With several copies, the nearest count.
Chain A
Amino acid sequence: MSERTTVHRSGDEELYRTMRLVRRFEERAIELVGAGEIVGGIHPYIGQEAIAAGVCAALRDDDVITSTHRGHGHVLAKGADPVRMLAELTGRATGLNQGRGGSMHAADFGRGIYGANGIVGAGGAIATGAAWAHRNAGSDRVTVSFFGDGAVNQGVLLETFNLAALWRLPVLFVCENNGYATTLTVAQAVAGSITARAAAFGIPAVTVDGTDARAVLAAATEAVERGRAGGGPSFLECTAYRFDAHHTWEHKARVRYRADDEVAAGRSRDPLDVQAAHLAEGVRAAVDAQVEAVLAEAVAFALASPPPDPAGALDHLYATGLRTRNGIGLVEPAADPLHQAAAHVPAEVR
């Protein structure tokens, strides 16, 4: 592992810190959904924290990720500010996306987070194109695309495996197999195996225990190093169990698709406990307290932040600042004077 890649998040304590941050972020977010402060609900990441933490600990700050509808874990683990992230979820002008994206589109381009995505399987090709741009620019940056088990049935993702393999691109495909795509089990949805799909394109594909952050980190590190060294794409299937609902609407409208004892068994192996076992006496409690403070600040900041001004509803519709007609046929001036200058331009490539 080169020195530059040994980032601060890869120690046992930091892995645990990331996981705890994600866990408590989700728990607070679920409360805010219940309180009506987060509109539209969320897809909680609880139970899968070791995957985001382990994979992102193998990355440099300038590496890139694409995420999913269940994206909070990835976004936080890649280093987005939890305070601005929560402001985004609560639809505030101070949010990562100025309140324009919400849970399913949270992004932080400055940290290589090319966004959560509302369409299953859509991030893979985007990640692979970014990896290609970086490679062609002579950079050794690596891109990671996270997706669920449901995504391996999406044509565009399978097409993407071919492009990545054909052109030996520095991309790591991380499939989070949490057993379900909403209510459909992997057995009902996937003929053959998940790793076989990537392997068919000649992509090295392994399965790791996605509840063990150390194991995930080790596997991801190997894959990321291979990509950085020009060895092409890799595929990692990380198994875990989704502790909570597919989406918070399930909290109200209970749909029956998982037996109670299955859920209990799934929850019995908590990835946070697995990781905490590696910590010295007292560390867990100290980290937990730090995380609590961060989240208290995040909630306070989010709730105190102003909502966006409706006059700017169409700001950023076009990166060039083009204004077209509104719903009654008028062309309004941009409410946000910065609308032309805000786009992120990656320095390395241009």
Chain B
Amino acid sequence: MARLSYLKALQRALADEMARDDTVCVLGEDIGVAVNNVTTGLLARYGPQRVVDTPLSEQAFTSFATGAALAGLRPVIEFQIPSLLFLVFEQIANQAHKFSLMTGGQARVPVTYFVPGSGSRSGWAGQHSDHPYGLFAHVGVKTLVPATPEDAYGLFLTAIRDDDPVVLFAPAGSLGVRADVDLAALGPVPLGVGRVHRAGTDVTVVAVGHLVQAALDVAEQLADQISVEVFDPRTLYPFDWAGLAESVNRTGRLVVVDDSNRMCGIAGEILAVAAEEMRLTVPPKRVTRPDGAVLPFARELDLAVQPQADQLLTAVQEVFKASR
């Protein structure tokens, strides 16, 4: 067993895929010197043909990757800021995503878009702190949010090997997470298969990304009163509805914690499907960012806008206490 950090897991996944498959290439800003510590050493090893430091032309290089993918490559793009995905939304949602269907299956666009450090990085304020995974799930681009080092490794592999466009968010709050892992056992993680991090019988908590750790803490804190099951979907789209149903149909109680805007977010979708299809015994709850959230700069305000462990704890208690 080796101690692996989430960030190192991303680094290792990319390096392993580049070694395994020479159609894998990586594009992005400042990836040559690896400012985000994911592309470390790759330029020296693979040269500028496969490791491309790009000018600040996100739209062009995103569709450039689409073209390279159509011609047979598997590009990976690193974005420095989550909101840069807003800037290339046309290129991903309207171009890359639509090629397969619109061409009647002639084309495929295996590009991975990844953001190392999504969500709030304290003090980066309104334009650098978004968590826009729900936007991609809505338009139907495969959307992955790993919460652990193993899953960071495995889902990055899966993303690169997938024949469709895939967006991978690595939350800023997860990059430092460490785990003891068997390096030899690391491998691809399938899409649409969630993971129960902690089994429980009273309340199902669905947590996304870095909030998985918060959910585990809350579960531990409540252990003597409430038996909390912590479900990590790992891939938001496609979503493991069957896996979630198995849990919710047992517990009958559901709380979702999600660091994205409330309105039309993934937490709402989960509640909706639970209401439609699962055996809820009491009304479910969600803890999210506010509607339309813009993260204010000052630390006190920034924190006040992110979902908090104590809010989750209260929500779990309320759902547990609610009468059937």
> Chain B's nearest CB lies how many Å from the CB of A177?
14
Q: How far is the CA of A108 from the CA of B103 in the complex (A)?
A: 8
Tell me the complex Cα distance, A122–B258, Å. Answer: 29
Name the residue on B nearest A88 (C-beta). B297
Determine the chain A residues whose CB is within 8 A of the CB of B286 once the complex forms.
Answer: 329
List residues of chain B with CB within 8 A of the CB of A104.
124-125, 127-128
Interface positions, chain A 293-313, Cβ under 8 Å from B, are 307-313
Q: Which of B33, B298, B304, B311 has the most CB of A within 10 A?
A: B298
Question: Which residues of B lie under 8 Å from residue A240 when comparing CB positions?
Answer: none
Q: In the assembled complex, which residues on chain B have CB atoms less than 8 Å from the CB atom of A182?
A: 29-30, 35
The segment out of B2-10, B89-97, B226-234 that lies at the interface is: B89-97
Interface residues of A in 239-286 (CB under 8 A from B): 255-257
| Stretch of B12-20, B105-113, B215-223 lying at the A interface | B105-113
Task: Contact check, A190 vs B128: say whether CB atoms are below 8 A apart.
Answer: no
Residues of chain B contacted by A255 (CB below 8 angstroms): 30, 33-35
Residue A6 at the B interface, CB < 8 A?
A: no
Complex Cα spacing A88 to B297, Å = 9
Q: Contact at B299–A114, with CB atoms within 8 Å?
A: no
Residues of B within 8 A of A342 (CB): 104-106
**CA–CA, A109 and B30, complex, Å:** 34
Q: A101 at interface (Cβ–Cβ under 8 A)?
A: yes
B-side contacts of A336, CB under 8 Å: 105
Given B61, B103, B123, which contacts A107 in the complex, CB threshold below 8 Å? B103
Known contacts A126-B66, A153-B55; A100 and B102 CB within 8 A of each other: yes
Stretch at the interface among A45-53, A70-78, A314-322: A314-322
Contact B163 A129 (CB under 8 A): no
- Chain A 96-133 interface mask (CB, 8 Å, partner B; 1/0): 11111111110111100011011111101111111111
* Distance between Cα atoms of A95 and B105 in the complex (Å): 12
Instruction: Say yes or no: is A28 at the interface (Cβ < 8 Å to chain B).
Output: no
Chain B 34-54, CB within 8 Å of chain A: the 1/0 string? Answer: 110000000000000110011
Q: How large is the interface on A (under 10, 10 to 19, 20 to 34, 35 or more residues)?
A: 35 or more
B77 shortest CB reach to chain A, Å? 11
B67 in the interface, Cβ–Cβ < 8 Å?
Answer: yes
Q: Which of A7-15, A154-162, A226-234 is near enough to bind chain B?
A: A154-162
A133 close to B71 (CB less than 8 A)? yes
Interface 1/0 per residue, B228-251 and A, CB below 8 Å: 000000000110000000000000
Q: Decide: A348 near B72, CB < 8 A? Known: A183-B32, A189-B56.
A: yes
Q: Are A320 and B57 in contact (CB under 8 A)?
A: no
Q: In the complex, A190→B56 CA distance in Å?
A: 10
The bracket for how many chain B residues form the interface is: 35 or more
Task: Please tell me which one of the listed residues A151, A329, A348 contacts residue B262 in the complex, with CB atoms under 8 A apart.
Answer: A329
Contact A118 B296 (CB under 8 A): no
Residues of A within 8 A of B186 (CB): none
From B56, B101, B191, residue with most partner A Cβ within 10 Å: B56
Q: Which residues of A contact B33 (CB under 8 A)?
A: 183, 255-257
Contact A160 B56 (CB under 8 A): no
Evaluate contact between A310 and B122: CB separation under 8 angstroms. Answer: no
Q: Identify which of A95, A100, A324 contacts B290 (C-beta below 8 A).
A: A324
* CA–CA, A52 and B304, complex, Å: 35
Query: With A100-B298, A319-B109 as given contacts, are A126 and B63 in contact (CB-CB < 8 Å)?
Result: yes
Kindly supply a per-residue 1/0 record for chain A positions 311-347, scoring 1 wherever the CB is within 8 Å of any chain B CB and 0 otherwise: 1111111111010111111000000101100111110
Instruction: Determine if B204 is an interface residue (Cβ-Cβ < 8 Å).
Output: no
Name B95's closest neighbour in chain A (CB-CB): A122
Given contacts A182-B30, A317-B100, contact A114 B107 (CB under 8 A): yes
Contact in complex: A109, B107 (CB < 8 Å)? yes
Q: B50 contacts which chain A residues (CB < 8 A)? A: 136
A42 to chain B, nearest CB (A): 10
In the bound complex, residues from chain A placing their C-beta under 8 Å from that of B101 are 100, 314-317
Contact A98 B107 (CB under 8 A): no
Q: For the complex, give the distance between the alpha carbons of A346 and B30 in Å.
A: 30
Interface pair B35/A102, CB less than 8 Å apart: no
CB distance from A235 to the nearest CB of B (A): 16
Partner of B301, one of A41, A126, A313: A313
Assuming the A-B contacts A41-B123, A166-B55, A319-B100, are A91 and B299 also in contact, with contact meaning beta carbons closer than 8 angstroms in the complex?
Answer: yes
- A350: interface (CB < 8 Å): yes
Residue B287 at the chain A interface, CB threshold 8 Å = yes
Q: B83 contacts the other chain (Cβ, under 8 Å)?
A: yes
A contact residues around B62 at 8 Å (CB): 125
Contact A317 B292 (CB under 8 A): yes
Inter-chain contact B126/A105, CB cutoff 8 Å = yes
Asked if residues A101 and B311 are in contact (CB atoms below 8 Å), the reply is no
Residues 166-183 (chain B) with a chain A CB within 8 angstroms? none
Which A residues touch B128, using CB under 8 A? 104, 118
B60 CB contacts on chain A under 8 angstroms: 124-125, 128, 155-156, 159-160, 162-163
Known: A104-B125, A126-B70, A329-B286. 10 other contacts (CB 8 A): A39-B299, A99-B296, A107-B107, A159-B60, A162-B57, A183-B30, A184-B30, A314-B101, A343-B107, A343-B163
Chain A residues with CB under 8 Å of chain B are 38-41, 64, 66, 88, 91-92, 95-105, 107-110, 114-115, 117-122, 124-134, 136-137, 143, 150-151, 153-156, 159-160, 162-163, 166, 181-184, 188-190, 255-257, 307-320, 322, 324-329, 336, 338-339, 342-346, 348-350
Give chain B's interface residues, CB within 8 Å of chain A: 23, 25, 29-30, 32-35, 49-50, 53-57, 59-73, 75, 81, 83, 87, 90-91, 94-95, 99-110, 121-128, 140, 142, 162-164, 191, 237-238, 262-263, 273, 276-277, 285-294, 296-301, 303-308, 311, 314-315
A to B CB contacts below 8 Å, 30 in the list: A38-B123, A91-B298, A102-B123, A108-B106, A118-B127, A125-B59, A128-B60, A128-B67, A129-B67, A133-B72, A136-B50, A143-B67, A155-B59, A156-B63, A163-B55, A163-B64, A181-B29, A184-B29, A189-B56, A312-B301, A313-B300, A316-B103, A317-B293, A318-B163, A319-B105, A319-B108, A324-B290, A338-B105, A343-B105, A350-B72
